[in-house]
Chain A
């Protein structure tokens, strides 16, 4: 009898040792992936507490099974269940930020492009947004990654031109916002009846929107870049202590740079018109964004991005006929990056700008150049113009024709605005100067 117990004890000891060895590796992996349940789990609603605590160790197994099913269905092109599976997976691992980020990205990017129907595509982009906005951030209010991912969907998926239906997305977003604000922004002094919808459905809080505009400048909330800015701003200010907020700062800088370059919107959804041009008034806000980021993050990448922005801003101000500001910006650029002093002076830089090949420029810069020339013709007093209005107009038209004739340098999904539209835009700008 005693021998039997001794034998069993030895076997048990061996198994305990083996389990302990496995645990070492698992613990290291958990720490690396940061998937330890945080204290916030106590504040989660009962369903989440039930699934995270009651399931215990089986939670991970269930998540794996659901995830494998999701991938398998997606490979077969059967995507009906994806939203449901993503919902369950994220709720089973509510504090695992990467999971939320992955599934939102998967729906907004991978699933949406499977459809050729724009309505269905937009549905899936919104599914991705809603997953993060309505649930991901609710359970991880201090996780900057999620804010940044949400902003990325706005900035990249909707705001840029990688998706061939990006114009449709832009129109849809603008229409939704227009339905809320009846214009480019809410009237903070007289909030309308849609304010509840703003808060409840879109999670747009007027007080935060106002403080953003007070700090960075007046923004058009029909633009996707503005929403990217909003979420990045919230991520920056909501992040838990010790969390890396550099991505949020990065997004703020990118969004402000995009707002500067394309923040002035001319839109007519019924006619399919969506034209954006530089919003020069946002320069101080953009500079503020970069300088704040450099101060906060102490990373070289922000300085490089700032210098790049300044070089682009110099070009924009120059084509809009404001060489005074252009010079200031150029000097600022040199102060940030002294090594350029030896390579370039202001006049040489302007000369270089004047001889850019427009067909090699991104569409935003090409539009800025053309509109800028037209604007000069309408706005500057004759004595301040470098050329007379007719010459400016003709030059603008030539540039427009060059760019329109060379579609290779712009994406097929990008709609190059008509010359008359840019002309009208320039006229309006000059009128409201």
Chain B
């Protein structure tokens, strides 16, 4: 461990003295502080805040992913190129120790930069909310929406179907049940989040309906008649739900003239949001997931650096990074291939073969990169959704431990087999 720590310390020193940390930190500061002056929402403070969270965290991860990959690519390839590795290899060190030390050092650098970015984001959000042009009630409302994160409680599954899927004809009702544990009760309020699609689809004006909610002990928790626009996510306030138990939620479609059927298509379109935590704590969990992602990208860079010279390693690892950022695109390629226009006969044979090759090749990448899609803090943070500790732990286990461990073993094996004494390689 001492040897690994020594190499880690060396890597950190290298990052500091080569000014990588300074440049990356400057970029992060410039981006996060300058962002509120550049982005434009729909003109409301809420949208400005949500967009800021989305873009600032996204840009932070983008900058750090680039930095991590770049530094990872250089960590070993530059040492091979400048022959420092020749001296290192002659010491009683295993390749695994060299690799692990480098990775540990780079991850420490990532941690520092991530912490800086996180602190700045938190500070800027407070500033954005503080300078929003609203009255006190508006401020409170804004803070409730932005600075509180909610745990999404989905409805209980009915037999055979996704329970929140429902098609409700005019005059009909539909009920959902939510299981509320002690952990999810007791909050001062809850929010019902819903979105529906109308039938006929062309009906775009508001649709009238009655929402009712009750528990065993609270018979008339909610009884509200609303007219809501289709396709729009709506948040409805429900007063304090206590004690734990089953919450029954009923929607009655009273849109009869014109008659419109209301359809809740998927699990994401209806859920109960219980205040769970603060924005800062959620951001911390998001940063932990971000840290895990950076561990993966650093390892990717290091693998490339072990196999290739620095310029080639950077090119290869940035290519992999681009694929990682376009996860949905990779998945699409794996499922459908290039989907070239086969109607043109001139291309049909070539396109057909190319399509199959692409599909098969990208299946592997889609499988490997699937955790990145699953463990994405941006799927939670802008919507003020609670990031569970279990998800944080899983992402850490997979992206920070499992993947880097696999890459470490491969990388160390490659380094061990590589003849670093050939100075031209």
Q: Quick check: do A and B touch in the complex, using CB within 8 A? A: yes
A interface with B by C-beta (< 8 Å) = 18, 21, 25, 65, 75-84, 87, 113-116, 120, 123-124, 127, 164
Chain A residues with Cβ below 8 Å from B227 are 116
Complex Cα distance, B43 from A87, in Å, reads 14
B42 within 8 A of A: yes
Main SS class of interface, B: loop
Segment touching A, from B12-20, B111-119, B229-237, B412-420: B229-237
Interchain CB contact under 8 A, A113 and B204: yes
B41 proximity list for chain A (CB < 8 A)? 80-81, 83-84
Residues of B within 8 A of A82 (CB): 42
B108 to chain A, nearest CB (A): 33
Given A21-B347, A114-B229, A164-B205, do A80 and B51 touch, yes or no (CB 8 Å)? Answer: yes
Closest to B43 in A: A123
Partner of A78, one of B43, B205, B229, B233: B233
B278 beta carbon closer than 8 Å to chain A? no
- Please pick, from A18, A21, A114, the residue contacting B232 in the complex, using a CB distance under 8 A: A114
**Known: A77-B232, A80-B50, A113-B204. Contact between A18 and B42, CB under 8 A?**
no
B46 sits at the interface (CB 8 A)? yes
11 example contacts (A-B, Cβ-Cβ < 8 A) are as follows: A18-B350, A21-B346, A21-B347, A80-B42, A83-B42, A84-B41, A113-B204, A114-B231, A116-B206, A116-B228, A120-B42
User: How many B residues are at the interface, by size bracket?
Assistant: 20 to 34
Q: A113-B204, A113-B205, A123-B42 are in contact. Are A84 and B229 (CB under 8 A)?
A: no
What residue in chain A is nearest B344 (Cβ atoms)?
Answer: A25
Cβ of A76: which chain B residues have Cβ within 8 Å of it? 195, 233, 268
B39 at the interface (CB under 8 A from A): yes
Give the CA-CA distance A116 to B41 in the complex, in Å: 18
Bound CA–CA A123/B44 (angstroms): 9
- Do most interface residues of chain A lie in helix, strand or loop, or is the interface mixed? helix
Q: Which of A76, A87, A124, A127 has the most CB atoms of chain B within a 10 A radius of its CB?
A: A76
A84 and B51 within 8 A (CB)? yes
Residue of A nearest to B207 (CB): A116
Given A65-B326, A84-B41, A116-B232, list of 14 further CB < 8 A pairs?
A: A77-B195, A77-B231, A77-B233, A79-B42, A80-B50, A81-B51, A84-B39, A84-B51, A114-B231, A116-B228, A124-B42, A127-B42, A127-B43, A164-B206
**Minimum C-beta distance from B330 to chain A (A):** 13
* Interface check B40, CB cutoff 8 A: yes
Considering the complex, give the chain A residue whose CB is closest to the CB of B46: A80
A120 to B43, CA, bound (A): 9
Q: How far is the CA of A394 from the CA of B268 in the complex (A)?
A: 59
Residue in A80, A83, A113, A115 whose Cβ sees the most chain B Cβ within 10 Å: A80
Per-residue CB contact flags for chain B residues 61-103 toward chain A (1 = under 8 Å, else 0) read 0000000000000000000000000000000000000000000
Q: How far, in whole Å, are A83 and B38 apart by their CA atoms in the complex?
A: 13
Whether B229 lies near A115 (C-beta < 8 A) is yes
List B contacts of A80 (CB < 8 A).
Answer: 41-42, 46-47, 50-51
B54 within 8 A of A: yes
Residues of B within 8 A of A124 (CB): 42
Nearest first, the 8 closest Cβ-Cβ pairs linking A and B are A80-B47, A114-B232, A77-B233, A113-B204, A77-B195, A80-B50, A114-B229, A77-B232
Residues on B with beta carbons closer than 8 Å to the beta carbon of A120: 42, 44
A302 → B minimal CB distance (Å) = 30
